[in-house]
Copies of this chain bind each other. A is one copy, B any other.
């Protein structure tokens, strides 16, 4: 019995979509068949934007993707004058913090965390530029918003050693998430929550 052989363009798109984390073979095929039904102008807009990604600019200060040399946050004197800098691993983490609409300082995108096994040392991350910015902008408070992991913890220890008083280095708090329940949360989170208990 011959099985169905789809046109190669469909197979190629499926393979591309399956590269996204969280998208399996089946979802990728479902998305591919949806793409076929898009109006061709919409598909054109999508493919044009994909090509533009090769010329994406980064903010020369904080390294977030930016339309101009300076991103809208680094260009905002109020945010720069807060003397607060929040260090994140990547742009996704920065966006997550911006979404909560509470933080008023500036950011610094490291571009990853230290990982000796993968050969990622301090020189591969935006650490030198962080030191320079902290000095130049007279930053008072460095907030490390680095995810908890062996490599994240090591990166935080390393960064903490780079700054001297009066610059204060802090890491974001860990504990029970809002809406979380002790019954369902993992043991590591509970022990962190106990460790990080506070007066109220």
Beyond A43-B54, A44-B51, A49-B16, is A65–B6 a contact (Cβ under 8 Å)? yes
Alpha-carbon gap, A69 to B53, bound state (A): 36
Beyond A20-B34, A45-B12, A50-B47, is A29–B92 a contact (Cβ under 8 Å)? yes
Copies in the complex: 2
Task: Give chain A's interface residue range (CB within 8 Å of chain B).
Answer: 35 or more
Alpha-carbon gap, A29 to B72, bound state (A): 18
Q: Which of A74-82, A139-147, A178-186 contacts B (4 or more CB under 8 A)?
A: A74-82
| Interchain nearest-CB distance for A1 vs B (Å) | 6
A57: chain B residues at CB < 8 Å are 7
Beyond A5-B72, A8-B67, A16-B49, is A56–B42 a contact (Cβ under 8 Å)? no
Alpha-carbon gap, A29 to B196, bound state (A): 32
Alpha-carbon gap, A114 to B71, bound state (A): 52
Alpha-carbon gap, A90 to B29, bound state (A): 13
A176: chain B residues at CB < 8 Å are none
B16 near A76: Cβ-Cβ < 8 Å = no
A129 interfacial contact with B, CB 8 Å: no
A71: chain B residues at CB < 8 Å are 4-5
A66 interfacial contact with B, CB 8 Å: yes
B47 near A51: Cβ-Cβ < 8 Å = yes
| Interchain nearest-CB distance for A100 vs B (Å) | 11
The 6 closest A-B pairs by CB, nearest first: A47-B47, A9-B52, A2-B76, A16-B46, A47-B50, A12-B49
Where the two chains meet, the residues of A that have a C-beta atom closer than 8 Å to any C-beta of B are: 1-10, 12-13, 16, 19-22, 27, 29-31, 33-36, 38, 40, 42-54, 56-57, 64-67, 71-73, 75-76, 78-79, 90-92, 94-95, 98, 101, 104
